[in-house]
Amino acid sequence: MHYGPFFFTNTTGKTTVETVPPGMPIGQREALSPGDLDGVIRLYDERPEFTIITTNPMGLRVTVDAQTFTGPRSVNWVPGSMHEVTVETQVDGDSRYLFGRWSDDGEQTHMFEASLDTTVLTASFIEQTRIPADVFPADGGTVEITPVVADGFYTARSEVTITAMPAPGFFFVGWFGFTFRGIHGDASNPAVFTNNSAGTDYTAFFVTQSPLIIDTNISATRVEVNGMLSSLPTGFSFAPDTPVTIGPPPSVQTVPGGSTRFLLQSWSDGGAPTHDIVIPPEGAVIAADFQTQHLLTTAASPPDRGSVFVSPNAVDGYYNEGDQVTIAEAANDDLQFLIWLGDLSGFESPQTLVMGEQRDVTAFLGISQALESGRPVSVKFPEVASPTLFTDARAYWIRVPEGATELEIVYDNNTAGVDIDRFVLKDFFPFLTSEGVVVDHAATGFSGDETILVRPTSDPLLRAGVYFIAFGVLTPGTESNGRLTATVKGGDPFPAIDLSQSAFTFMIENAGAGDLNVLLNSDQPWLHVTPNQGTSTVEDGTEVTVSIDSTGLPPGTYDGAIGLLQVDSLPDLKGARLKAEPVSVPVTLVIVSSNPAINAGGVVNAASGGPTVVPGGVASIFGVNLAGGTQLASSTPLPTSLGGVQVTVNGIPAPIFFVSAFQINFQIPFDGLTNGSLTIVVIRDGVASSGEEVAVAEFAPGLFVVPQTSPNQALPIIQRFPDFSTISPANPAKAGVY
């Protein structure tokens, strides 16, 4: 791997990738490794003639068949021959190397079989280094490093804390030596860093003169002190009454990559960004206050076919940490918005995003045709000269909501003799690579009529999102056509307006002459309207966003209104006069409980559908909000909690076969249950439904049946031993077979 452990980090000194076990070197970019060279040779359909035994890092000792050498080394082994390989711990000054792993995952000492398929064998080592610590002057204090390691060796990229403890009469002013300044401050105490370099050494510097300490609200931010760049917190031992100039760094400080930056806001003494201070005899402490800002990057895909708008709009894309921004998209006339990618998700626009860190948002636009669930569309393909994938403009898409239980895709091919394949991919168009079409699901039979079923048990499983359907026409020389139907089963329908996501927008248009100045407000704390004023000209209207904050509101119906007042002047409202009667736009908010609820009479015998259950029998519960998704038990004994759902029978947890939003299949416990009635309760994520009564008896026979074309033809499920195939008219029972 040529990406190092700190590549793409947005936090100085923190790793983005680690080895297993930790501490092995990665990211070397000095030269091609033996593994690289082996891979290049194989790219050209060649096989290396020799086997390379090497180490990571290179240049360490390996023992092969009792012979020790420094890797890498070429050996000419006969395929199938067996060889003992081993390595030992090695020390080089302040660096130590422990065995990490072999590239064939063998033990530290193991037998390796020579093979033309594996011609590079690498021993990777865990790197460790010593971290010397000292003090100056010798009687100034002590230093403590944690964790405490008896032999002083610390694994590469492990977190280390070093603390300076001044002796009586001394003050700590900073660290000197080969230290990790920039990851922590010059005088951070304790200083915390990721050990990543041989030769690191820390010396704690103590003084008897009361020092100048410059502190900060964000560790490792930088300022200039008398023209020298210092990492905060930092300390100085100046003579009393010495003037010192402090100010911001010459350029804005950022994390690697520039995704986060730190801006000096103020000094605790109230001074200007750059100003002089005079050190009193008792020393001084002054603190710098920095503002953290994060970069927001947005894009439309395709980039030249639409735009993404952010409000408020930062000119350089940086926002204060914690700021909320509203993000919306605008597609060109021939495209439509499909889904958000990156740090936003879903289909609603606009949405609100909190700038807690670097954010990246892409609006995915498409010119493909949207499908309505269950409604067929006609599909036509032109004559092709060679196999052709019809995607993008000739693709189709359908949205699958949360809680959906199945996506069924059917294509009725009306042109005989034409081979048509269908490809399905979530959140992007199926596309062609050198290895084939990238898809999640496909139907590649010759007729093109196969049904594609995507369910929560499929691989990949059914999830909420946008599913794209593309066609591959494989038969040249013939035009073809057919009918495509995509049907989503289960799940909540998509509302025309979704107030749970910041909302909907409308335009205030000006049908008269002059400017239309409008003030807007709401009469309820849960109802928000932005902006609160606007001017509509004859050419341009005012876009208004209505949003809902239902936090803390119990289920129920709430009525509110948006008020629109036309005034003669904006934005200075002093002396403004109404020009027309106020307009009130009613808004009704309905909050539906998400608690689980069992239908009246909704507990039944799973086999017969009757109202009586038996101890040990299988029962079904029907209701709403019973589970957050569909899940099947995957092992025995059956769990009593599945997908965050529990079922209790007279307070006893019941084994569960299956849960979904509208149905649960479970087993009535055997113990402690007698004739009469039972109380069934569903508990979802800790929230319990009301109890539902169901009759219980010692016997209540029922048969699971195989559905047929007529209910009167339903057949009991009887399975043959030992293959457990189901007995049916097409697979009848035979004499002598059990």
Distance CA 390, CA 644 (A): 42
Is the confidence at residue 697, as pLDDT, over 50? Answer: yes
What is each CA distance from 661 to 2, 498, 611, 642, in whole angstroms?
A: 47, 21, 21, 13
Distance CA 634, CA 667 (A): 15
> In the prediction, which pLDDT does 501 show?
40
Contact, 613 vs 700, CB < 8 A? yes
> In the prediction, which pLDDT does 292 show?
95
Q: Any idea which of 135-144, 318-327, 561-570, 648-657 has the lowest mean pLDDT?
A: 561-570
> In the prediction, which pLDDT does 713 show?
46
Confidence of residue 499 (pLDDT cuts 50, 70, 90): very low
Place of tokens 């609200």: 217
- Strands 663-667 and 542-548, sheet pairing: unpaired
More confident residue, 726 or 684: 684
Confidence of residue 573 (pLDDT cuts 50, 70, 90): very low
**By percentage, how much of the chain surpasses pLDDT 90?**
36
User: pTM value?
Assistant: 0.54
* Fold (CATH) for 369-490: Jelly Rolls (2.60.120)
More confident residue, 493 or 290: 290
Confidence of residue 134 (pLDDT cuts 50, 70, 90): very high
Contact, 349 vs 545, CB < 8 A? no
Which tokens belong to 559?
A: 């009525």
Confidence of residue 727 (pLDDT cuts 50, 70, 90): low
Confidence of residue 734 (pLDDT cuts 50, 70, 90): low
Is the confidence at residue 710, as pLDDT, over 50? Answer: no
Place of tokens 């043959």: 720
Place of tokens 């509208």: 662
Confidence of residue 591 (pLDDT cuts 50, 70, 90): confident
- DSSP strand E in 383-541: where? 388-390, 396-400, 404-413, 420-426, 431-433, 436-438, 441-443, 452-454, 465-473, 480-490, 504-508, 516-522, 527-530, 533-536
What is each CA distance from 496 to 104, 347, 493, 499, 593, in whole angstroms?
A: 56, 12, 9, 10, 20
Which CATH number among 3.40.50.300, 3.20.20.150, 2.60.40.10, 1.10.3720.10 corresponds to the domain 597-696? Answer: 2.60.40.10
Contact, 424 vs 467, CB < 8 A? yes
- Give phi and psi for 36, each to the nearest 5: -60, -50
Average of per-residue pLDDT values in the chain:
83
> Partners of 586 in the beta sheet?
561
Angle at 403 between CA 299 and CA 489, to 5 degrees: 105
- Whether the CA torsion 306, 311, 315, 319 is positive or negative: it is negative
Number of H helices, E strands in the chain: 1, 63
Which tokens belong to 104?
A: 């064939």
Exposure b/e, 409-438, CB count within 10 A at least 16 = b: bbbebebeebbbbbbbbbbbbbeeeeeebe
- DSSP strand E in 595-675: where? 597-605, 612-613, 618-624, 631-632, 645-649, 652-653, 656-659, 663-667
The count of other CB atoms within 10 Å of the CB of residue 48 is 15
> In the prediction, which pLDDT does 332 show?
72
What is each CA distance from 446 to 157, 318, 408, 419, 422, in whole angstroms?
A: 55, 54, 19, 5, 11
> In the prediction, which pLDDT does 539 show?
67
Is the confidence at residue 108, as pLDDT, over 60? Answer: yes
Contact, 638 vs 653, CB < 8 A? no
Residues whose CB is less than 8 angstroms from the CB of residue 554 and which lie 6 or more positions away in sequence, other chains included: 591
- Strands 153-155 and 141-146, sheet pairing: unpaired
Exposure b/e, 217-255, CB count within 10 A at least 16 = b: eebbbbbebeeeebbbbbbbbbeeeeebebbbeeeebbb
Distance CA 655, CA 666 (A): 6
Which tokens belong to 384?
A: 């092709």
> In the prediction, which pLDDT does 550 show?
77
Is the confidence at residue 672, as pLDDT, over 60? Answer: no
The structural domains of the chain, with segments of one domain joined by +, span 34-129, 132-250+268-287, 293-366, 369-490, 499-591, 597-696, 703-738
- Strands 359-366 and 284-301, sheet pairing: parallel
Phi-psi label, residue 342: left if phi above 0, alpha if psi -120 to 50, beta otherwise: left
Tens of pLDDT along 349-376?
A: 888 999 999 999 988 877 667 788 888 8
> Partners of 389 in the beta sheet?
472
pLDDT mean over 334-354: 82
Which tokens belong to 537?
A: 């000209």
Tens of pLDDT along 267-288?
A: 999 999 999 999 998 999 999 9
> In the prediction, which pLDDT does 485 show?
92
> In the prediction, which pLDDT does 575 show?
46
- Give phi and psi for 601, each to the nearest 5: 70, 20
Residues whose CB is less than 8 angstroms from the CB of residue 10 and which lie 6 or more positions away in sequence, other chains included: 255, 256, 257, 259, 260, 357, 358
Which tokens belong to 615?
A: 């101890």
Place of tokens 């502190």: 215
Tens of pLDDT along 443-496?
A: 987 765 678 999 988 889 998 888 989 999 888 888 888 899 999 887 533 322
**How does DSSP classify residue 13?**
T
What is the CATH number assigned to the segment(s) 499-591?
2.60.40.10
> In the prediction, which pLDDT does 441 show?
93
Distance CA 292, CA 272 (A): 19
> In the prediction, which pLDDT does 502 show?
42
Confidence of residue 6 (pLDDT cuts 50, 70, 90): low
> In the prediction, which pLDDT does 226 show?
93
- Strands 656-659 and 583-591, sheet pairing: unpaired
Angle at 322 between CA 320 and CA 327, to 5 degrees: 85
> In the prediction, which pLDDT does 329 show?
84
> In the prediction, which pLDDT does 8 show?
61
Identical fold for domains 499-591 and 597-696, yes or no, is yes
Is the confidence at residue 578, as pLDDT, over 70? Answer: no
pLDDT mean over 553-572: 72
Tens of pLDDT along 605-635?
A: 888 888 899 998 899 998 888 988 888 888 8
> In the prediction, which pLDDT does 302 show?
75
Q: Which H/E stretch holds residue 41?
A: helix 34-43
CA 687 to chain centre: 27
Contact, 233 vs 188, CB < 8 A? yes
> In the prediction, which pLDDT does 273 show?
95
